[in-house]
Structure 1
Amino acid sequence: MTLDIAFMGTPDFSVPALDALVAAGHRIRRVYTQPPRPAGRGQQARPSPVHRAAERHRLDVAHPASLKDERELATFRALGLDAAVVVAYGLILPEAYLSVPRHGCLNIHASLLPRWRGAAPIQRAILAGDAETGISIMEMASGLDTGPVVLEEPVPIGPRTTAGDLHDQLSELGARLILEALDGLAWGGLHPVPQSREGITYAHKLEKAEGFVDWSHSARDIDRQLRALTPWPGCFFEYGGERLKLIDARPAEMPVAAGQGEHPAPGTILDADGTVACGNGALRLGRVQRPGRKPVPGDAFLRGMRLQPGDCLR
């Protein structure tokens, strides 16, 4: 069934859903997205990925700075909507908007609710060591990601899965599930299920400072940190007055010589291959980048910094 839809989204994650809705023949009455932001070296105003996708599809685009203006609400009401689809829009929808579309407002959320409500569900799931995450299609309510779920599908988190990997996988899954959800709601085949009151967690917004690598943490936790914060904000450590980007690393066996006696101090270089002692276990440096230079393998980084086994990165 073809529906009249408002689409509300901003980043790359949202684009596959918009593309899928257009390909399915739904009438996109208006696309809402965040206003253009300064970006790049010249800090020129750059439209969001959703804005650019909407122009590619020749859709009407609006980018209000706020939805609190009564005129914006009146415009939204005048669209004659069957549904609104919201995917990482970036603005909170006032409660008055939620009941305007005939089938309500549906949100594509990148977790299995009620786990990881909030802004950074993909990264928080990896940081916590979750075995799986997924997509929830939720009817929006006045609280933060509190509405009933109409459809969901789990996705495993592998031992080498990064946030970038999950971002792409969940983005495509969300695009598929939103079509199923809209069809089900239109034909009366889906029934919203209230979220459990147990197992609620919140995925707070990421901060750049969370990328700092503390070698006193376990190799397992640093590995999760690196995978969760790849590609953004990335991980770094400091040595010799430089901030060094840790682009790739993974847990490694403790070298035999280093494994004898007391555990080496966290940050100690254990061999010429770039194995570093952590608070528990060891991590093998994969790629490291010095300021203003290209990323290099861990062993090449050690040579460039004239670091030897026994030196400490703390």
Structure 2
Amino acid sequence: MRLVFAGTPEVAVPSLNALVDSPHEVVAVITRPDAPSGRGRKLVASPVAQRAEELGIPVLKPEHPRDPDFQAELTALAPEACPVVAYGALLPQSALDIPKHGWINLHFSILPQWRGAAPVQHSVWAGDEFTGATTFRIVKALDAGPTFGVMTERILATDTSGDLLGRLAEGGAHLLVQTINGIESGEIEAREQPTEGITMAPKILVEHAEIDWSQPAVAIDRQVRACTPAPGAWSTHDGERIKIGRLTPVEREPLAAGELEVTKNAVFIGTGSTPVQLGEVKAFGKKQMQAADWARGVRLESGVRFGNT
């Protein structure tokens, strides 16, 4: 099948690789325009654009897929289907109508659960036991199109969103290829999503990632893992924002919510239930380091509080 692939971040690269290695023909790639990155704010091509260029595949970078020039170029490419993984722009109906078999999206949840921009983060934060990936035909409504195939993945107790998304990206790439195979052969048909069990997964912003230490340890652990690597869970100390890495609930004498206990080799902090041991932290302008090393550097003493508790 003649394909034009749409994707932007690193998580979309495994699907691009899998499609290129399949019997299908990837004639072009669509991705978001180059974006400023790093301290110098130099324009950098997306991971998908960089991989496509390595593969010698033409890359289209429209400011918006509604642009008439882009749609004319896409029409000229005559794709039979446009597989999509985390492209990052809303597609107008005029673009959706171009490929014969539509735009086939790989979404990292079991739809209709966790529709939206951050399904993996929300599944970790909610404490789900399982998640997965779904292929579906894109329609105007958000992640509401008819589905083709599903894969499942267990969420481990130590998984961060980054860990889980890495596994889903690899497994989902195979699902996407199988879906395109089935569409070409006529062996699979899209089925409408259930109208019950719909949950939404909007983007998690920095302000959502602030830790409320009065919550139980299990809830804080889920929040930290859900927000790792982005946007990064955080709290404040002495008016300064501190990013909080992985932490571990421990059985110790209770501490007040947000209260620190500093020992030679560890830093513990109180929650709404049992204390947690901090792993790595990152102060503003500093490198990420073990909490005990950071505490020694700033001469942190037991009894001080994190956050607004």
Q: Which of the five TM-score ranges fits, normalised by the shorter chain?
A: over 0.9
**Residue from 254, 257, 261 that aligns with 1:266:** 257
Identity across aligned pairs (percent)? 37
Which range moved further: 114-123 or 69-78?
A: 69-78
Q: Counterpart amino acid of 2:68? A: E
Q: Counterpart amino acid of 1:81? A: P
Is residue 278 of structure 2 the alignment partner of residue 285 of structure 1?
A: yes
Task: Classify the secondary structure of the residue corresponding to 1:14.
Answer: helix
Q: Equivalent residue for 1:150?
A: 148
Superposed counterparts of 1:81-230, under 5 Å: 81-230=79-228
Deviation at 1:218, TM superposition (A): 1.5
Distance 1:208 1:149, change over 3 A: same
Task: Classify the secondary structure of the residue corresponding to 2:166.
Answer: helix
Once residues 232 and 292 of structure 2 are traced to their aligned partners in structure 1, the CA distance between those partners, rounded to angstroms, is: 20
Once residues 69 and 287 of structure 2 are traced to their aligned partners in structure 1, the CA distance between those partners, rounded to angstroms, is: 51
Deviation at 1:271, TM superposition (A): 5.5
Q: Counterpart amino acid of 1:153? A: M
Distance 1:79 1:304, change over 3 A: same
Task: Classify the secondary structure of the residue corresponding to 1:158.
Answer: coil
Q: Equivalent residue for 1:73?
A: 71
Task: Classify the secondary structure of the residue corresponding to 2:14.
Answer: helix
User: How many corresponding residue pairs?
Assistant: 305
RMSD over aligned Cα, in angstroms? 1.6
Once residues 307 and 65 of structure 1 are traced to their aligned partners in structure 2, the CA distance between those partners, rounded to angstroms, is: 49
Which range moved further: 23-32 or 149-158?
A: 23-32
Is residue 295 of structure 2 the alignment partner of residue 295 of structure 1?
A: no
Q: Counterpart amino acid of 1:194? A: E
Is there any run of 5+ residues in structure 1 with no aligned partner, and where? none
Deviation at 1:246, TM superposition (A): 1.2
Deviation at 1:98, TM superposition (A): 2.2
Is residue 41 of structure 2 the alignment partner of residue 43 of structure 1?
A: yes
Q: Cα deviation per residue 1:265-297 (whole Å; 9 max; x = unaligned)?
A: 201224623221101222111112233333332
Q: Cα deviation per residue 1:133-159 (whole Å; 9 max; x = unaligned)?
A: 111011111211101110001101111
Q: Equivalent residue for 1:236?
A: 234
Once residues 95 and 281 of structure 2 are traced to their aligned partners in structure 1, the CA distance between those partners, rounded to angstroms, is: 48
Q: Cα deviation per residue 1:167-197 (whole Å; 9 max; x = unaligned)?
A: 1111111110111111111111112121111
TM-score (norm 2): 0.94
Q: Is contact 2:3–2:83 with CA below 8 Å preserved after alignment? A: yes
Which range moved further: 178-187 or 77-86?
A: 77-86
Once residues 180 and 71 of structure 2 are traced to their aligned partners in structure 1, the CA distance between those partners, rounded to angstroms, is: 23
Once residues 243 and 71 of structure 1 are traced to their aligned partners in structure 2, the CA distance between those partners, rounded to angstroms, is: 45
Once residues 28 and 123 of structure 1 are traced to their aligned partners in structure 2, the CA distance between those partners, rounded to angstroms, is: 30
Is there any run of 5+ residues in structure 2 with no aligned partner, and where? none
